[in-house]
Amino acid sequence: MTLLTPGLAVGGLVSIIIPLVVHLLSRRRRRPIEWAAMRFLIDAFRKHHRRLRLQQWLLLGVRCLVVAVFGLALARPVLEQYAAPGFASQRTVFIVIDNSLTSSLTEGDGRSALDRHIDRAVEIVNVLNPGELVGIVTAARPAVGLLLPPSSDHASVVRLLRTLRPSLTPCDLAAALTVLQNAVDSAAAEHDRQVCYLLSEFRTGSARTVEPLPALSIEAGTDMQLLAAPPASESVPNVRVTSVEPMRRLLLTGAADISGQVRINLARTGGGLPADVSRIRLAGPDLPQMEPQLVHWRAGQMEATTSVALQPGMHGDREISLTATIDDDQLQADNASHTVVTVRRAIRVLLLDRREHGVESPIDRFSGGQWLWRALQPVAGGPVEVYRIEPAALTQADVRTVDVVILPRPDLLTQAGWETMRAFVDHEGLLIVLPPGDASIHEWTARFTDELSLPWRVGLERTDHPEGLALAAVQPAGGILQMISADLADLVRPVVAQRRLPVYPGELDGESALVFQDGSPMLLVGRPRQPEGHLGREEAGGATDGQAATRGLVVLSTVAPELSWTNLPSKPLMVPLVHEIIRQGLSEIWGERRYLVGERPVLPAATGNLAGPGGERLLIGEDRRPVTPLRRPGLHRLLDRAEQQTALVAVNVDPEAGNTDTQSPQVVSSWLGASGPWQVFDADNPGSALRTAGGNRSIAGLLLILVLLLVVLETILARRFSYAYQAGVGEVSGGLRPTIEEHPHRSSLRAGPRETLSALSAGGSRPGGAP
Amino acid sequence: MPTAEEIRAEQYLAPETLVQLAPFELRAKMIIEGVMSGMHRSPYQGMAVEFAEHRQYAVGDDLKHLDWKVFGRTDKLYVKRYQQETNLDVILLVDASASMTFGSMVVPRGWGRTTVGGAGRPWTKYDHAAALSAAIAYICLHQQDRVGLYVFADGLKTILERTSVHDQWRRVVAALSRETAEAATDIVKTTDQVLGRVTNRALFVIVSDFFEAAESVRHSLARFRHQRHDVILLQTLDRQEMRFAFNQAAPFEGMEAEGTLQVEPRALREAFLEAISGHCNTIARAARSFGFDHQLLDTHQSVGPTLAYLLARRDAFLRRSKVG
């Protein structure tokens, strides 16, 4: 039996003093009555004092019991129903625990939020009756049914709960609810009542209220109760390194020394955001030791960025790992961020163009391939190595060692060549496609978009613009041309196009790097879609995203780099444009090798093994994903089947997961409300809901009835034992009678002795007889 | 000018009581040996005035006692026998033990003042005993009998010798009013002392609550019977002792040093009444076994009717037995 309000029970027990005091006061000394017939009173007392004492104790006991039981009833006791192990219990309790990154937040008592969640979960489990089932779902990405199907071994459940540790991933409550839904559906057939607890602080990092939750479908006739913990009300200050972003992820050393800039982005949440200072250190295996940089936070400032100069030196092709860290705070997992910068001496480019034989054409008749050839290698010894192959002769081996494929004659590519291109792109290749300048009908466009699963709709026939179509003065910011964005306006101004391939507006699914004045794209950047059935990059609770992008990048130019199409080849934009496309395209591709903890990313095809930060090997499945999600932040090494490192990848904590801002109960309630009728339970007494509703039966009503019966019994006993039912003075009947009573005989006595004698004779009594 | 004692005696013997007792006589149920001629049977027969019986003449009988009228009608010789009548010694034995001071009734107007105190004090059993004694003494003196008073508790305390002077009843009341009730009762010792002083047959009227061992009472009565005395037991109890009508728990303190007992009276009422009833019945049976009268009196009732009943009953008994 458990008491919901034990204080009242204690009060009831203490109130037993009341009848005792009343009893003692009733025994206070009264004025003694002088009594002559004491010997008979003593005789009577001796005969009955045992019975009288028993009656008094019985009466006192009943009165004490009345007070005690009444106090107990007010304490709302609940009686746990016994269910023998092995028999179906009446309830199944599912506990969804938020063990995400913010659950490791420590407060003043040194205990983390997860510790408190576990304590509440243990308290909930302890309230359950033997035989009732408990299932546990952890909500940190990836959401896992930690204990499903539910178990009735409560001791093991508690032990399992005690082993829980905060994850480094954000909370994926949507996936957790999906897992919960599946578990509830499985249990609904066996148990008529389910109670789902959601233990979370609902900080911004763990409860992204902008992302809708799936609605829990509760079968008709199923008694299901959804109980959520109250949102945290206390903000905890936290500074996190959201990202480390080199200005160029690809550093081409060429013949000269190189340098670069690294931007370190910080964010802070929680608390009152007072003025503060953070120290940032940037470190890497190949970097000299740097002095910490200070970031001065203004009051209320939430984000900050600082730049650090990077001079890796010339040591050949390699990958440089960079790690930015800040001082420890109350959430330490997000105090570091990692990234990788690729240092290459040169970029290998494959130009798929028709080989020219004989005398070289004059410059005004240069084909696109020829212009590109020159643009790629404007000077000897540049950072780009160009190979040229006939498109029709393309094989898989030709693209295996190159970084970029430029296709100025897609019309000459065979079907196998397109398949090779697709494979190349899927293997982190950069494909640049340009229309052939001498074709007016471009049948290749259909094969191009189909084979590369591109959503673009490119027209088959070029459109002519004799008056010339200029590029827009304001070009899209960022993207693949961001490094030359400062000069881009000047560079695009003299460029005019007379022909172009139409790409229909509204059907683009990519980035327009350059646009004409009419808004139509000149340069499109996009990623091929993954065919149906392929696992995507994101995974949530086993769900797949078939539309996730692959690693490679496709760039489509809607104009051929020929003077018959545009004057671009002869303008200053040509060379930086080609080089930026190549360098930034590869940067973007290789920059994608940044994973988040908790993900199961699709790894490059050549990856045979994945080594963690500590050198531990992570198994890779047939789907080219790690069998288990990435759990540790840091630098991971991609290894080929010969255990040779092919790439270095950075695994970071999701920066948004460390947002420690609190959210209002209304916002959280509204957000949760989309998934079901969640109710907030009492955080100090999470088991009370189980006691008051469900298997535990409150016996307060029974106790109140018992109190009533005891009161009636007390009244009867009190009346009986106090002999109050007996008449008082002046009402007493019975007792000893004198020989003659005054009233009956008074008249006869006054009548005289003769009449009295007659009366006596008639009565038959005789002198000397008994009274 | 009457003295204070005489005034007090008048208050104990109310005129109403005298009126109620006027038609009655207190007669001895046995033959007594008086010193004066009176209304009671004497053991001496012969020349008295009251015919007793006929007896056949035997040689040696005095011829003057022959009943010639019987001889004339039947030719048989019968001698008349006469019962000699004498006066009666009535000895009032009044219990003055501490238990007799109990009373639960405030003295009604006209009942006189109590021996214990002034107006507003309870009418005690001792008061009632005094009233009874005065009334009996008055009746006896009125029929020329001698009246004496022995006051006792754990022994004889006061003795008022027998006399038939007219104001002897006043002396009785005065003697009783002077007495203070205290100590316990020792009826056996008292009996020894009394019987040591009374050699002739007499009528003893014992006025007491008889709160003593019934066996002791029986033993004493046996002694009286052995000495051929007539005894009337007037057992005087307060109405509260007969009803035990208390309704609140209280300590009860014995008046004869029995100690104090905290009781719930309603819880013990039945047992108490059973005990006291049993005791009274035992006393009554003992008295009856010796041919004595026993009368249970309620102090809340007036003396007159109770005594009238007693006297009438004795008279009736004497008439039926043709002894008187």
Q: Is residue A340 part of a domain?
A: yes
Domain span holding position A194:
91-234+662-695
Mean pLDDT value of segment A465-491: 86
Of the ranges A50-59, A343-352, B115-124, which one carries the lowest mean pLDDT score?
B115-124
What pLDDT score was predicted for residue B25? 65
The overall average pLDDT reported for chain A is 80
Q: Which residue among A37, A727, A770 sits closest to B284, beta carbon to beta carbon?
A: A770
In this predicted structure, the answer to whether residue A311 has a pLDDT above a threshold of 80 is no
Of the ranges A39-43, A164-168, A717-721, B157-161, which one carries the lowest mean pLDDT score?
A717-721
Q: Which residue of A736, A737, A745, A746 to mutate against B (max B Cβ within 10 Å)?
A: A736
Q: Is residue A760 part of a domain?
A: no
Q: Do A739 and B305 count as a contact with CB atoms less than 8 A apart?
A: no
Same domain, A38 and A122: no
Counting every residue written for chain A, the total comes to 771
| Chain A stretch 730-749, residues whose beta carbon is closer than 8 A to a beta carbon of chain B | 730-732, 734-742, 745-746, 749
Same domain, A225 and A269: no
- Of A637, A658, A679, the last residue of a domain is A658
What pLDDT score was predicted for residue B123? 83
**Residue with the two structure tokens 């004698």:** A757
Q: Which two tokens stand for residue A280?
A: 């940032």
Q: Is residue A63 part of a domain?
A: yes
Residues in B touching A741 (Cβ below 8 Å): 298, 301
Contact between A306 and A282 (Cβ < 8 Å): no
Instruction: Report pLDDT digits (tens) over A227-243.
Output: 999 998 888 888 889 88
Q: Which residue among A31, A45, A770 sits closest to B263, beta carbon to beta carbon?
A: A45
Report which of B45, B89, B44 is spatially closest to residue B230, judged by C-alpha positions: B89
Confidence of residue B323 (pLDDT cuts 50, 70, 90): very low
Same domain, A451 and A566: yes
Q: Does A728 touch chain B (CB under 8 A)?
A: yes
Residues in B touching A758 (Cβ below 8 Å): none
Residues in B touching A730 (Cβ below 8 Å): 245
Q: Extract the runs of DSSP E, i.e. beta strands, from chain B.
A: 40-56, 78-86, 89-95, 105-106, 122-123, 146-152, 156-163, 203-208, 230-237, 250-254, 260-263, 293-298
CA B53, B57, B61, B63 torsion-angle sign: positive
Same domain, A429 and A574: yes
The single-letter DSSP state of residue A624 is: S
Residues in A touching B259 (Cβ below 8 Å): 38
What pLDDT score was predicted for residue A768? 25
Q: Do B285 and A742 count as a contact with CB atoms less than 8 A apart?
A: no
| Minimum Cα–Cα distance from A763: chain B residue | B313
Q: Which residue among B125, B305, B312 sits closest to A742, beta carbon to beta carbon?
A: B305
**Pairing verdict, β B203-208 and B89-95:** parallel
CATH of the domain at A676: 3.40.50.410
Instruction: Write the DSSP assignment of A413-448 as a string of letters.
Output: --HHHHHHHHHHHHTT-EEEE---TT-SB-THHHHH
Instruction: Report pLDDT digits (tens) over B251-267.
Output: 888 888 888 888 888 88
| Chain A stretch 708-727, residues whose beta carbon is closer than 8 A to a beta carbon of chain B | 721-724, 726-727
Q: Which segment, A451-455, A497-501, A541-545, is predicted with the most confidence on average?
A: A497-501
Give B81→chain A minimum CA distance, Å.
28
* Maximum pairwise Cα distance, chain B: 82
Q: Is residue A518 part of a domain?
A: yes
Q: Is residue A109 part of a domain?
A: yes
Q: Which residue among A726, A757, A768 sits closest to B287, beta carbon to beta carbon?
A: A768
In this predicted structure, the answer to whether residue B110 has a pLDDT above a threshold of 60 is no
Q: Is residue A35 part of a domain?
A: yes
Distance CA A377, CA A380 (A): 7
| Minimum Cα–Cα distance from B29: chain A residue | A767
Same domain, A108 and A133: yes
Mean pLDDT value of segment A669-681: 88
CATH of the domain at A631: 2.60.40.10
What pLDDT score was predicted for residue A184? 82
Q: Do A37 and B251 count as a contact with CB atoms less than 8 A apart?
A: no
Q: Do A768 and B293 count as a contact with CB atoms less than 8 A apart?
A: yes
Contact between B7 and B112 (Cβ < 8 Å): no
* 3 state SS for A588-619: HHHHCCEEECCCCCCCCCCCCEEECCCCCEEC
- The three-point CA angle A102-A595-A305 to 5° equals 70
| Chain A stretch 15-44, residues whose beta carbon is closer than 8 A to a beta carbon of chain B | 26-27, 29-44
Same domain, A482 and A508: yes
In this predicted structure, the answer to whether residue A35 has a pLDDT above a threshold of 50 is yes
The CB density around residue A454, as the number of other CB atoms within 10 Å, is 23
Report which of B30, B25, B26 is spatially closest to residue B201, judged by C-alpha positions: B30
What pLDDT score was predicted for residue A497? 93
| From-to residues of CATH 3.40.50.410 in chain B | 4-30+88-319
Q: Which residue of B111, B125, B263, B317 to mutate against A (max A Cβ within 10 Å)?
A: B263
Q: Which residue among A32, A48, A768 sits closest to B294, beta carbon to beta carbon?
A: A768
Same domain, A163 and A141: yes
Percent of chain B topping pLDDT 90: 21
How many distinct structural domains can be found in chain A? 4
Report which of A143, A144, A146, A219 is spatially closest to residue A184, judged by C-alpha positions: A219
Q: Is residue A748 part of a domain?
A: no
Q: Which residue among B271, B296, B317 sits closest to A47, beta carbon to beta carbon?
A: B271
Residues in B touching A726 (Cβ below 8 Å): 247, 266, 269
Residues 6+ apart with CB under 8 A from A288: none
In this predicted structure, the answer to whether residue A79 has a pLDDT above a threshold of 60 is yes
Q: Is residue A297 part of a domain?
A: yes
CATH topology of domain B4-30+88-319: Rossmann fold (3.40.50)
Amino acid at residue number B65: H
Same domain, A130 and A176: yes
**Residue with the two structure tokens 């508690």:** A158
Instruction: Report pLDDT digits (tens) over A374-429.
Output: 898 888 777 888 998 889 888 888 888 899 999 999 999 999 999 999 989 888 89
- For chains A and B, what is the number of CB pairs under 8 angstroms? 213
